[in-house]
């Protein structure tokens, strides 16, 4: 698959980050940057980074993603338990005005934000798997 300008720039940013981390010397950086700008396929760009760690500093993001992904079921469970109990109390006390909405609305926003944030983070951390 053909590489886009954005993918070339992303590869150059990664190479510069590896240079700053001491994984590449200046000569190797310059040679790889030149090849990155001439690359026509994603495979060529991957080849420039193949012998380097996947993403400098990416391990922190991966750990954060795993942690918050593991916490999502607990967050959803607490949401269901608390809001279910409040709705049950409301129903048991003769109903009337739905006062649990004061808790239900903001906690719904929090759980949905957590779920969508998890999905967004996963897509940001996932490297593209192009077909050449």
Distance, C-alpha 59 to centroid of its chain: 12
Q: What is the pLDDT of residue 123?
A: 78
Low-confidence ranges of the chain (pLDDT < 70): 55-61, 126-132
| Residue 53 main-chain phi, psi, to 5 deg | -55, 150
Q: What is the pLDDT of residue 60?
A: 65
Q: What is the pLDDT of residue 132?
A: 38
Q: What is the pLDDT of residue 55?
A: 59
C-alpha to C-alpha distances, 3 to 6, 10, 21, 48, nearest whole angstrom? 8, 11, 26, 13
Closest listed residue to residue 55, CA positions, set 18, 23, 86, 28: 18
Contact 45, 3 (CB under 8 A): yes
Per-residue burial over 33-62, b if 16 or more Cβ lie within 10 Å, else e, is beebeebeebebbbebbeebeebeeeeeee
Q: What is the pLDDT of residue 1?
A: 85
- The pTM of the whole model exceeds 0.85: no
Burial-class residue 27 by CB neighbours within 10 Å (0-12, 13-18, 19+): exposed
């Amino acid at each position: 698959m053909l590489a886009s300008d954005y993918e070339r720039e992303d590869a150059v940013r990664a190479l510069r980050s590896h240079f700053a981390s001491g994984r590449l010397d200046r000569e190797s950086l310059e040679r790889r940057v030149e090849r990155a700008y001439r690359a026509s396929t994603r495979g060529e760009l991957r080849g420039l980074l193949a012998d380097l760690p996947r993403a400098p500093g990416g391990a922190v993001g991966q750990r954060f993603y795993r942690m918050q992904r593991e916490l999502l079921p607990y967050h959803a469970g607490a949401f269901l338990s608390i809001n279910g109990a409040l709705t049950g109390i409301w129903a048991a006390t003769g109903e009337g005005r739905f006062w649990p909405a004061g808790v239900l609305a903001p906690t719904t926003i929090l759980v949905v934000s957590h779920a969508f944030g998890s999905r967004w983070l996963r897509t940001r951390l996932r490297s593209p798997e192009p077909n050449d």
